[in-house]
């Protein structure tokens, strides 16, 4: 029998082992030994907990210049991200990438709705003319999603007084009558007032809106109390310096989309995602260079890619971020049909470790069907994780609800390589599906995706906080307080991994029960 050691020397005896328990990430992903891996093929070994989960910060880069407080993105798919999803993703600390399977003007309008939703100073407020009717105001409310509009009218001494149109009439043709408020009875901060100073005036005024005027009394910007409340309710919100919500949108590699891009920029776009199923093409490289030369204020996220060689070409062209993933999405069949792609875990580690040498953040796009997959993508080097099917069932996605044959409430979800998308017609007959998969001139359309449905997941306002809290608890189990610390721990070999057999996967899930309920969260 082996000699029993002194328990007080357990930590010293542990040092006798040549390495930590489990596998170094490079050994885990050694394809000569194990082949290429997906997220389900491994686990992260636990570390030491010395802090509460609430102290874990998930702040992480999504591109060279922009950082998210929740490293989660919604995919630019027409059943996942429209303006409503983009607004709520940004409010909750993530980022929604508005799809481009629509006419350019429609996509630009979605960008405007995101940028107008929450503001610091509203520099170009929507206003009502002196002769505006209740019907006009109702149309503006339906278009923009908010109901308070300045009404500008000529006033004494040639300055403009501001009024809020309160819609309470039953007759849409009735003209809006506003009670005149003399300028001296209002606290109107002058031009040059800081946002903090203006917020304090607004807070003390107990009014819904605060106009900022120049020395002639002309309206130059506006501040909204509802935005002040949103700052309280959404502390993680992704915002730019103007305090507007951060907004991203997709374009194709086609030259024709240069016109689309200009419209998006005019609408206030912050990040452009060049969307292609295979990102290493002369078309994408040309588009990246065009954007960097003509719109230097934009960050460009390029992709999709799965190899270092692809990454090098896009980084050299000027990409500010990369999307990793080819054929790993839940509605994608590229790997099966085209025999091209790469298992997601191996792809994420290979590309992100290379891109990190140039300071280019990577987004793990696809293969995410649960919270654990998000953590694994981050652990392998991704700065953020993009989701499609996981978010398609939320109320804020553009997909339509219907009841399945089994009586369950579901939502339509389709891959951008599906025949359903490829056959949909946009302006001038173009669509994002054929552009993304280089099929626009093909007589025979070869599907690289499917159309289906996903279970209703309720509102993103409950689901995304669940994902954020889950990732925080996971990092607590691993023993790190941030995404950067997670990356450092993995690279230095302090955070270890373990392979999983099929039996281990079965053991790690629910088993041996006659029946059970799987409620993922409560709020």
Which residues sit in the known binding site for K(+)? 327, 329, 332, 503
Residue 302 contacts residue 284 (beta carbons within 8 Å) = yes
Q: What share of the chain is helix, strand, coil (3-state, %, to 5)?
A: 35, 20, 45
Residue ranges of the binding site for NAD(+): 275-277, 325-327
CA 479-481-483 angle, to 5 degrees, is 105
Token pair in block for residue 116: 């107008």
How many of the other CB atoms lie within 10 Å of CB of 408? 11
Nearby residues of 492 by Cβ (< 8 Å), 6 or more positions away: none
Q: Cα torsion for 436, 441, 445, 450, to the nearest 10°?
A: 20
The active-site residue out of 112, 436, 457, 496 is 436
**Which residues does the annotation place in the binding site?**
275-277, 325-327, 329-330, 332, 365-367, 388-389, 413-417, 448, 503
CA angle, residues 368, 374, 379, in degrees to nearest 5: 130
Region for residue 93 given its phi and psi (left: phi exceeds 0; alpha: psi -120 to 50; beta: otherwise): left
Cα–Cα distance measured from residue 296 to residue 285, given in angstroms and rounded to the nearest whole number: 16
d(CA 353, CA 315): 13
Task: Give the position of tokens 């310096």.
Answer: 241
The annotation places the binding site for IMP at 330, 365-367, 388-389, 413-417, 448
Nearest to residue 482, comparing CAs of 73, 51, 63, 62? Answer: 51
Quote the DSSP letter at residue 27.
Answer: H
Question: What distance in Å separates the CA atoms of residue 276 and residue 300, rounded to the nearest whole number?
Answer: 13
Annotated catalytic residue: which of 116, 247, 323, 332?
332
Evaluate whether 269 touches 428 at the Cβ level (below 8 Å): no
Burial class (CB in 10 A: 0-12, 13-18, 19+), 190: exposed
- Whether 184 sits among the annotated catalytic residues: the reply is no
Answer for the pair 35, 345: CB distance below 8 angstroms, yes or no: no
Q: How far apart are CA 400 and CA 339, in angstroms?
A: 32
Distance, in Å, from the CA atom of 349 to the CA atom of 353, rounded to the nearest integer, reads 6
C-alpha distances in Å from residue 317, one per residue of 7, 301, 306, 429: 58, 11, 17, 30
102 is catalytic: no
Q: What is the DSSP string of 194-230?
A: -HHHHHHHHHHHT-SEEEEE-TT--EEEEEEHHHHHH
Active-site residue list? 332, 436
């Amino acid at each position: 029998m082996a000699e029993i050691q002194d328990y007080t020397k357990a930590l010293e005896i542990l040092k006798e082992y040549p390495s930590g328990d489990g596998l170094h990430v490079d050994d885990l992903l050694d394809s000569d030994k194990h082949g290429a891996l997906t997220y389900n093929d491994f686990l992260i070994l636990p570390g030491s907990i010395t802090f509460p989960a609430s102290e874990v910060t998930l702040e992480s880069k999504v591109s060279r210049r922009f950082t998210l407080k929740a490293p989660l993105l919604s995919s630019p798919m027409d059943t996942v991200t429209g303006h409503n999803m983009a607004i709520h993703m940004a409010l909750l600390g993530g980022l929604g990438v508005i799809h481009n399977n629509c006419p350019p003007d429609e996509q630009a309008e979605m960008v405007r709705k995101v940028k107008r939703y929450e503001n610091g100073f509203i520099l170009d407020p929507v206003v009502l003319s002196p002769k505006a009717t209740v019907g006009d105001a109702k149309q503006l409310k339906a278009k923009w999603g908010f109901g308070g509009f300045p009404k500008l009218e000529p006033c004494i001494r040639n300055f403009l007084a501001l009024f809020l149109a309160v819609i309470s009439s039953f007759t849409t043709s009735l003209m809006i009558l506003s009670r005149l408020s003399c300028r001296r009875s209002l606290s109107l901060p002058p031009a040059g007032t800081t946002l903090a100073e203006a917020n304090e005036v607004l807070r003390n005024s107990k009014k819904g809106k605060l106009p900022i005027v120049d020395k002639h009394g002309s309206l130059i910007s506006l501040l909204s109390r509802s935005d002040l409340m949103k700052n309280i309710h959404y502390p993680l919100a992704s915002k730019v310096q103007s305090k507007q919500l951060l907004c991203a949108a997709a374009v194709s590699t086609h030259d024709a989309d240069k016109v689309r891009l200009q419209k998006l920029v005019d609408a206030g776009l912050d990040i452009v995602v060049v969307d292609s199923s295979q990102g290493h093409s002369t078309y994408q490289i040309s588009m990246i260079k065009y954007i960097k030369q003509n719109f230097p204020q934009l960050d460009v996220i390029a992709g999709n890619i799965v190899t270092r060689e692809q990454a090098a070409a896009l980084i050299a062209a000027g990409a500010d971020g990369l999307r990793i993933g080819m054929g790993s999405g839940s509605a994608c069949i590229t790997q099966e049909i085209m025999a091209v792609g790469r298992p997601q875990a191996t792809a994420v580690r290979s590309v992100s470790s290379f891109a990190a040498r140039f300071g280019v953040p990577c987004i793990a796009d696809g293969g995410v069907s649960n919270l654990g997959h998000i953590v694994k993508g981050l652990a392998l080097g991704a700065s953020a994780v993009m989701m499609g099917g996981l978010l398609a069932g939320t109320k804020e996605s553009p997909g339509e609800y219907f009841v399945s044959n089994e009586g369950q409430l579901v939502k339509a979800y389709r891959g951008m390589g599906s025949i359903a998308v490829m056959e949909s017609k946009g302006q001038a007959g173009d669509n994002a599906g054929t552009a993304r998969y280089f099929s626009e001139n093909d007589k025979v359309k070869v599907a690289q995706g499917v159309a289906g449905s996903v279970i209703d997941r309720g509102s993103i306002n409950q689901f995304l906080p669940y994902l954020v809290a889950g990732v925080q608890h996971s990092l607590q189990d691993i023993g790190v307080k941030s995404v950067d610390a997670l990356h450092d721990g993995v690279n230095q070999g302090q955070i270890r991994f373990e392979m999983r057999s099929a039996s281990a996967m079965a053991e790690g899930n629910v088993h041996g029960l006659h029946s059970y309920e799987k409620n993922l969260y409560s709020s």
